[in-house]
Chain A
């Protein structure tokens, strides 16, 4: 038990007269600076109510004398940004792809634009580093189904692949197994043949059996030596790049079902100059042609 409070403890400071269990509440004045800030805040708040949107009503809110609106400010900023970009992008629009690539300042600008646009739109499928994954093309190497020159890349970007755009790049690998064009045994033999094309050891008997099947069905697109054809988007079967996987199972599945990925046509979604910048960016980072 502590001793009850005495005058000695509280000193000459008056109390409020409230008392609980012998503890009385001191009536110390608030610090002057605190009071002044409090009063100033009150005045400020009243001024704010008058000048700025403040009080909610049933159907709307008080608009304030200044009529400030964040939404209007954002709209204005966006249109400012557009005019600002317009000046920079005008050069991209006028210059040809080669000109952009050979002018260091213009190229730097295109690379910067391209990098951010790539991150926003392309990285979802192709990865931030552009190396793709199974079914999504690697954009950093020198294997290009539809050609790796600046123009090829630009065209693919503009119209897409199997995108439904009239100028889209379209190729169709038949589903030999699924559509019963070939028998399961033939598909298995063809798999061995493709493995052999890529320079890996394969079952010689199966390869021999598959040769006429290959000649009848595959040569038109992949060529007699399996080197593919960028004009038709037919992959080279002799290299080490496999969009849908290099294992026997992967190859067999592809012959059986003939998958084909879709890439959107960006000309409808991005400005022409942005697509150009993207093409320059992708080309600059590829080990391409």
Chain B
């Protein structure tokens, strides 16, 4: 069923504070300009449950970001004791008791797939939860706006000051704001590098000029992007740069809960005199509070829009207003398009959180999570690969016997040294040889140090094979502390004629 919501309103739009986007649209720009000029947005301070939730989430996420690299974790040997560390130089990713190697990058892929599916599911259920509450762009912009308020005051004071000519007061407030912004941005960029180097060490190195060049480069890069993205670009990042608003349209349907202006309750809107009757009119008193608090500079009453990050601040602003005029709250709140349409048509609203789309996303999420869990629990600390020599593929010895060379790559992902016993499974009479060790018939040994890959060269000599094909199926069995592993290979019995 398709719900058509008609938001065209009869009557003229009244003059007065309109959304920033609306203003820009009205002003238009004649030909010649290639870019739409940005209309400054002055979001007003707001109080309420959604705002409180956003504060709490901001504190929590920032705390996670800044504290994580400082968590210590005991690991044996000379391995780093940082709980979470992306060690590019050593090509390791440490995650508490886990240690990932570059060849296990599929775990990262799996994690990204899980994150994407979780995002899909959350969007289908509750709209842009990520954008409104958790995206770094939102969090840091929120923080920067709060700093702006501390220095320059709330919406009206800021608008007045920006319109006024330069004065000492204006200058120091602007300078102070930018200075604090830069400080926060530097803190953000600085914390980033702790994830890639031992945090206490690199902190000291950073200030003594000993840190690797990449640390300075990335610190500078993230300082710059934080400062620009959260300070000046703000909503433009979401509207123009981020792909998510484009994708979300495909994930959200008419059963998704989103921050919604309930037109069934609000329209027809209009100013309301104290004591006047509420009969025959809607609950929206056109106070524009929802517009002035919006960090994206839009009017939620125009319906779901690409720009709306679902932050819920307009709902808080509206509720505050409703409290003041003693009307029920919830003119703006989480609702679905279908429910709004149903109520408008005089029917009971039906909410369907369980629907094929959400079931599918949930099932996919469970499946991928299960696969990841299976992969993690069945992860082996050892890994054996056999590479046959290609040049020469085989060598004939003076007595007619044939020798093949192999390189066994034995990876030891554990934290302890291990002894590997390498046995050759093939025709009888095989002689095994590694460089430096005498010839053996029963197998060769190699020590695989903790946390390394060792390439063990093994030469196998077989007596001249009567009537055998040119390629024999053989195998190497490597016995490790974890158990034996057999890897198949081939033995070439005919080196071909020498010229």
Contact = CB atoms under 8 A, between A and B. Distances in A.
B31 interface: yes
The 3 closest A-B pairs by CB, nearest first: A129-B391, A284-B435, A239-B398
A31 interface: yes
B194 to A, nearest CB: 31
A104 B498 CA distance: 34
B34 interface: yes
Contacts of B102: none
B390 to A, nearest CB: 8
A287 B35 CA distance: 74
Contact of A284 (B32, B395, B436): B436
A37 to B, nearest CB: 15
Nearest to A130: B392
A133 B32 contact: no
A287 B461 CA distance: 9
A283 B457 CA distance: 13
B28 interface: no
Contacts of B200: none
Interface residues of B, number: 26
Contacts of B459: 287
A140 interface: yes
A138 B403 CA distance: 13
Contact of A138 (B32, B389, B498): B498
A131 interface: yes
Given A28-B32, A107-B435, A129-B389, 15 more contacts: A11-B30, A12-B30, A13-B32, A101-B435, A101-B436, A129-B390, A129-B391, A131-B391, A133-B498, A134-B498, A140-B392, A142-B397, A241-B398, A284-B435, A287-B395
A287 B398 CA distance: 10
A244 B459 CA distance: 27
Interface in A217-270: 236, 239-242, 245
A124 to B, nearest CB: 15
Contacts of B392: 129-131, 140
Contacts of B398: 141-143, 236, 239-241
B396 interface: yes
22 contacts: A11-B30, A13-B32, A101-B435, A101-B436, A104-B436, A104-B447, A111-B435, A129-B390, A131-B391, A133-B499, A140-B392, A141-B395, A141-B398, A142-B398, A143-B397, A239-B398, A240-B398, A241-B398, A284-B435, A287-B403, A287-B433, A287-B459
A78 to B, nearest CB: 22
A284 B498 contact: no
Interface string B410-449: 0000000000000000000000010110000000000100
Contacts of A130: 392
B435 A128 contact: no
Contacts of B30: 11-12
A166 interface: no
B403 A141 contact: yes
Interface in B364-413: 389-392, 395-400, 403, 405
B395 A138 contact: yes
A60 interface: no
B273 to A, nearest CB: 46
A130 B397 CA distance: 14
A143 B398 CA distance: 6
A94 interface: no
Contacts, number: 71
Given A111-B435, A128-B391, A130-B392, A11 B31 contact: yes
B32 A29 contact: yes
A285 interface: yes
Interface of A: 11-13, 28-29, 31, 101-102, 104, 107, 111, 127-134, 138, 140-143, 236, 239-242, 245, 283-285, 287
A9 B35 CA distance: 20
Nearest to B33: A29
Contacts of A129: 389-392
A231 B85 CA distance: 60
B498 A140 contact: no
Contacts of A102: 436
B405 A285 contact: yes
Contacts of A283: 435
Max chain B Cβ within 10 angstroms of own Cβ: one of A101, A142, A242, A283:
A142
A127 B395 CA distance: 13
Contacts of B400: 240
Query: Chain A interface mostly helix, strand, loop or mixed?
Result: loop
A117 B337 CA distance: 73
B397 A284 contact: no
Given A107-B435, A133-B498, A284-B436, A140 B395 contact: yes
A281 B433 CA distance: 15
B419 to A, nearest CB: 13
A28 B447 CA distance: 73
Contact of B34 (A31, A111, A241): A31
B436 A12 contact: no
Contacts of B397: 141-143, 287
A128 B390 CA distance: 10
B173 to A, nearest CB: 28
Nearest to B461: A287
A120 B266 CA distance: 83
Nearest to B389: A129
Contacts of A285: 405, 435
A12 B30 CA distance: 8
A13 B392 CA distance: 74
B222 to A, nearest CB: 23
B11 to A, nearest CB: 33
A133 B396 CA distance: 13
A61 B357 CA distance: 71
Given A141-B396, A284-B435, A134 B32 contact: no
A134 B499 contact: yes
B391 to A, nearest CB: 3
Nearest to B405: A285
Contacts of A128: 391
Given A12-B31, A13-B31, A138-B498, A284 B396 contact: no
- The interface centre, meaning the residue of A107, A127, A133, A285 with most chain B CB atoms within 10 A of its CB, is A285
B460 to A, nearest CB: 11
B417 to A, nearest CB: 13
A9 to B, nearest CB: 11
Contacts of B435: 101, 107, 111, 283-285
Interface in B179-228: none
